[in-house]
Copies of this chain bind each other. A is one copy, B any other.
Amino acid sequence: MNQITFSIKIVIFGIYDNQLMVLLRNNRLIDQAVRPDTSLDEVAKQIFSTVTDIPVKNNYIEQLYTVTGKQNEVSVVYYVLLPETTAPTEPEFRWKNTSDISKTMEDIEVIHYAVQRLQWKIEYTNIIYSLLPQTFTLTQLQTAYEIIFQKTLDKRNFRKKILSLDFLEATNKKYIGSTRPAQMYRFKKRKPVIVKVFS
């Protein structure tokens, strides 16, 4: 029996340039061989921090599924949500639009499945907090949902619904742009909670 190669793959999601993006390294998912002797969740978080130079605080992370390859390769796939995205500083990293992935890319099924799971999770939990900065306007929040679900929402109905869920609170900050200042909100708790956001 051959040695088994065991690795963790991570789909890093972020909203960047008004699109739902995944972070790729050399045009592939972040992938790292590991020794399966500790909690996989912890290992996944460490890899994420090391690779991105971003400390994992309350970034939402979830195991997706496990696949096997030809040569006794086993990969456990995770996805992570990243708030406050920036342009990658190192050249091998690149944000890639999830709705514009070439069919020849090898991780395409994994990414598509990850997007689907993300949509489900966003539908019935509050974890979208993990894709947003600490404070944000309601329009920013609405735009995030619109990007993830690829459909437009009615402003009044959205605000009515989201405020009725009672997981936001107004801050004393205003967003100052070139037009009327907007009230900024924050999540009361940045912890995953099951909440039906959409019908």
| Interface of A toward B, CB cutoff 8 Å | 1, 3-4, 6, 35-40, 63, 65-68, 70-74, 76
Contact = CB atoms under 8 A, between A and B. Distances in A.
Contacts of A36: 4, 68, 72-74
Nearest to A6: B4
A66 B40 contact: yes
How many copies of this chain?
Answer: 2
> Residue among A1, A68, A70, A72 with the most chain B CB within 10 A?
A68
Contact of A66 (B38, B71, B76): B76
Contacts of A4: 3-4, 6, 36
23 contacts: A1-B35, A3-B3, A3-B4, A4-B4, A4-B6, A4-B36, A6-B74, A35-B72, A36-B68, A36-B72, A36-B73, A36-B74, A37-B68, A37-B71, A37-B72, A38-B68, A39-B68, A40-B67, A63-B65, A63-B66, A65-B65, A65-B66, A66-B66
Given A37-B71, A66-B76, A74-B74, 7 more contacts: A4-B4, A6-B74, A36-B72, A38-B68, A40-B67, A40-B68, A65-B65
Contacts of A67: 40
A46 to B, nearest CB: 14
Contacts of A66: 40, 63, 65-66, 76
A4 B72 CA distance: 11
Contacts of A72: 35-37
Contact of A37 (B3, B6, B63, B70): B70
